[in-house]
Structure 1
C-alpha cells in the first residue's frame, strides 16, 4: 500500500546514508588502494543484501531465474560494481571529497542525455539549459574557481569522476530492460562481480590484513552505500504517492555531505565548491522540472 509519509521517511533515511559515503570513501582510501577498498565493500554488500533477502523470505528468488538472467547478472556485475566503483574510487583517491562528490552527482543529467539516443526520449530546450547550468558548476568546482584559466586541479581525477557518471548512466539504461527483482538483481550483480574484483586485487595488490579504521570505513560503504541505501530507496519509491516529492529529497544530500566532509575529514570547503554545487543542483532541479510537470499533467488527467 502507498503511504507518502512512510515514503518520505524511507527517502530521508536514504539521503542521510548517501550524505555520509563521500566521507567514508576518503577515510578508507587513506590506507587502502581503490581495488582493496572495492573488494572489502563488495564482500560486505553481498553479505548484507543476502541477509536482507533471507529476512524478507525472498532468498528462493535467487535460484529461480533463467540461465540467460544469470549470464545477464555477470555482465551487469562487470559494470556495477566492478567498473563503476573502481573508477569512482579512483576519482575519490585523487580528488578532495568536496570536488569528487558533486562531480559524480551529475550522473542524473548524463542519464537524461543518454536516454535520447538509447531509449528514444525527446531532448527538450529545458534539458539543454539544465546541462549548461550543471556543467558550468562542474567547471567551477574542477578549476577551483579559476574558470578563465581552465586549469584543472587534477585532470585525471576529474576525468575519472566524469567517467563514473557515464558508466552509472549506462548501467541504468541497461537496467530498464532488466526483468529481475531489483534486490535479487543487485545481489547477483555483486556476487558475480566479486570474483573478478578479488582476482584483480590479488594480481595488483595482493591480499593483506587492512588497518582497522580503513576496514570499518570500507565495510560501511559496502553495507550502507551499496546495499541498505538501495533497498531503502526502492521502498521509498514503492510507497510514494508522489514520486517527485521523494525524488526532490536527493538535492539535500550533496549539501549535507559537505557538513560531514568539513567536520570529519577536516577539509576546508572552498567558495568555488559552494558556487559549483549550487549550479549543479540548480541544473538537476531544472532537469527534474520536466518530470514533475509530466506527473502533474497525469494527475490532472486522471
Structure 2
C-alpha cells in the first residue's frame, strides 16, 4: 500500500471520529455540565496521549525540553484545553448540535484572517469572498432561516461558538512557533491545563459524576476527539504525498455529522441548517483552494 493510500485511510479515520463528536458532546451534556465534561474528557485525553507516547517509545521526550518550553506548555494549556473547550462545550450546551457544529467549522477562515496581523500574511480577495459566503451561512443557521429578523436562537450560545473559533485559530497561530514534538506538546498542554480545569470544577459544578451515558460520552470525547483523532490526522499529513487530497476529506465531516445527529440525538434537521452548512463549506473550499493554488505556484517557481 502506498503512502498516499495510508494517508487517505488515516484521514478517513479522523473524519469519521470528528463526525461523531458533536453527537457525543450533546449526549454528555444531557447529564454533565460543560466544566464537568471537560474534566472527564481532558483526563481521558491525557491518559491516552501518555499511553501513545509510551507505546511509541517517545516518553523520554517529555523530560527533554527546555524551561521555556515547559512554561510554554502552561500558557498554551490555558488556551487549549481550558478556554477553547469551555467555550465549545458551552456552545453545545446552549445550542442544538446541528447549529453549534457548523459554526465551529469557521475556525479555518478565522485563522486566515488572524494570520494577517500576527503572521504578516496578505489578505487575499478570495479570503474576503470566502468570509462573506461563510458568515452568511452562519447567519442562516443562527437565525434558523429567518435572516431578515437577525434574531439569533440563542445569542450567548452563538457567541460561545464564534468565540471558540477565535481561540482555536489563535492557538494554531501560536503553535506555528512551537518546536516541540506535536504529541508531546499536546500532552503537556493538556497536562498543564487539567489542574486549572479541576480547580474551576471544584469551585462551581462539583464532582458528582454518576455512571451513565453522560460520563461514557465524555470519556469517548477525551479518547477520540481530543486524543486519537489528533494523532491519526498528524499521521495522515505526514504520509500524504498529496496533502490537498487528504485535506479535502474534512469537508465530508459536517455532512456525515448530521446523519449521527439525526439518528442518535433525534434532532430534526432544519432546512436552514443544510443551507447554512453548504454556504460555510463552500466558503471554506474557496479559501483553501486559492491557498493551495498559491502554494503550488510558489513551490514550482
Do structure 1's residue 133 and structure 2's residue 142 form an aligned pair?
no
Q: State the aligned residue count.
A: 301
Q: Please, what TM-score do these two structures have when normalized by structure 1?
A: 0.98
Whether the aligned pair in 2 keeps the contact of 1:31 and 1:211 (CA below 8 Å) is no
Whether the aligned pair in 2 keeps the contact of 1:244 and 1:291 (CA below 8 Å) is no
Provide structure 2 residue ranges, at least 5 long, that are not aligned to the other structure.
none
Whether the aligned pair in 1 keeps the contact of 2:81 and 2:193 (CA below 8 Å) is yes
Give the whole-Å Cα distance in 1 for the aligned partners of 2:199 and 2:300.
54
Q: Please, what TM-score do these two structures have when normalized by structure 2?
A: 0.98
Q: Shift of residue 297 of structure 1? A: 2.5
Whether the aligned pair in 2 keeps the contact of 1:142 and 1:158 (CA below 8 Å) is yes
Provide structure 1 residue ranges, at least 5 long, that are not aligned to the other structure.
none
Give the whole-Å Cα distance in 1 for the aligned partners of 2:98 and 2:70.
38
Q: Shift of residue 207 of structure 1? A: 1.6
Whether the aligned pair in 2 keeps the contact of 1:39 and 1:194 (CA below 8 Å) is yes
Kindly report structure 1 stretches of 4+ aligned residues shifted beyond 3 Å.
298-301
SS in 2 for 1:123: coil
Q: Shift of residue 298 of structure 1? A: 4.7
Partner residue in 2 for 1:94? 94
Whether the aligned pair in 1 keeps the contact of 2:36 and 2:205 (CA below 8 Å) is yes
Partner residue in 1 for 2:26? 26
Partner residue in 2 for 1:267? 267
Q: How does 1:142-291 map to 2 (within 5 A)?
A: 142-291=142-291
Give the whole-Å Cα distance in 1 for the aligned partners of 2:111 and 2:173.
8
Give the whole-Å Cα distance in 2 for the aligned partners of 1:59 and 1:290.
39
SS in 2 for 1:205: coil
Whether the aligned pair in 1 keeps the contact of 2:32 and 2:209 (CA below 8 Å) is no
Q: Shift of residue 292 of structure 1? A: 2.0
Give the whole-Å Cα distance in 2 for the aligned partners of 1:289 and 1:279.
15
Q: Shift of residue 290 of structure 1? A: 1.6
CA RMSD of superposed structures (Å): 1.2
Q: Shift of residue 148 of structure 1? A: 0.5
